[in-house]
Amino acid sequence: MTKIKAIIVDDERLARVNLKKLLEPHPEIEIVGETGSCIGAIELINLHNPGLIFLDIQLSGETGFDLLELIDNSIKIIFVTAYDEYAMRAFEVNAIDYLLKPVNPERLNASIERVITREKTQKSAAKSYEYSDSIYVHLNNYASRFIKISSITFIEPVGNYSKIVTIEGKHCLVLKTLKQWQEELPDNNFVRIHRSSIVNIEHVDHIEKKSNTCHRAFLKNISEPLEVSRRYAKKLKSLN
Domain locations in the chain as residue ranges: 4-124, 134-239
| Architecture of the domain spanning 4-124 | 3-Layer(aba) Sandwich (3.40)
Please tell me the distance from the alpha carbon of residue 97 to that of residue 203, in angstroms, as a whole number. Answer: 36
For residue 137, the model assigns a pLDDT of 79
All residue ranges of the chain with pLDDT < 70 are 1, 122-127, 139-143, 213, 234-240
Q: Give the pLDDT confidence score for residue 143 in this predicted structure.
A: 65
Burial code (b: 16+ CB inside 10 Å, e: under 16) for 198-209 equals bbbebbbeebee
Global pTM? 0.56
Give the pLDDT of residue 128.
Answer: 76
3 state DSSP class of 29: strand
Cα 131 to chain center, whole Å? Answer: 22
For residue 237, the model assigns a pLDDT of 62
Helices (H), 24-104: 38-48, 64-68, 87-92
Cα torsion through 155, 158, 161, 163, rounded to 10:
-30
pLDDT at 239: 58
What's the confidence (pLDDT) of residue 215?
85
Cα separation, 145 vs 129, in Å, equals 17
**Cβ atoms of 59 and 15 closer than 8 Å:** no
Domains 4-124 and 134-239 share a fold: no
Domain 134-239: CATH superfamily is LytTr DNA-binding domain (2.40.50.1020)
Amino acid at 156: E
- Measured in degrees and rounded to the nearest 5, phi and psi for residue 212 equal -65, -20
User: What is the per-residue pLDDT for 202?
Assistant: 93
Residue 103 contacts residue 22 (beta carbons within 8 Å): yes
